[in-house]
Every structure is written in structure tokens, then in C-alpha cells.
Amino acid sequence: PVHVCIAYTSQLVYDIKDGLERMKEKYGDSIPSMITLATGPSRTADIEKTLVVGVHGPKEVYCFVVDDASVAPGA
């Protein structure tokens, strides 16, 4: 599987804590279910207690970042 992400520069945050705080500010208690936290390759030790990286999730990730710093709000 391939995961494609399109994000505006104004949506980027420093860490997960900041991202979750921003989601709470924007949506309150009605946070949508379509949220992705991309933190890196999956890790599991289910197979004979041996660490295996990248078993679950996409094999490829493409993130397109759109610079919206010069766009007027509401435009």
C-alpha cells in the first residue's frame, strides 16, 4: 500500500501534542475520525519475539507540502 498526504504549511506542527491540541481547538469534542498520525515505520515483536520493522501500514509514503504562507485567510 501507498499513503499519499497533502498538507499546507500552516497545518504542520512540532510534535503530536501540539497537533492534538490544535485539533481540540478546531473541533472541540467533535474530532473527525479521518486523522492520520504518521510517526514512522511500524514495529512488532510478535514473530518469535524478534523485532521486525515495517510490517504494518504502507510500504511507501508521499507527502506533498503546499506553501500557504502567502495566501490571504479565507481566499
Pick from 37-41, 44-48, 59-63 the range whose average pLDDT is largest: 59-63
- Residue 48 exposed, middle or buried by CB count within 10 Å (0-12, 13-18, 19+): exposed
**Whole-number Å distance between alpha carbons of 37 and 13:** 12
The confidence band for 74, taking pLDDT boundaries of 50, 70 and 90, is low
The answer to whether the beta carbons of residues 34 and 23 sit under 8 Å apart is no
What pTM was computed for the model?
0.62
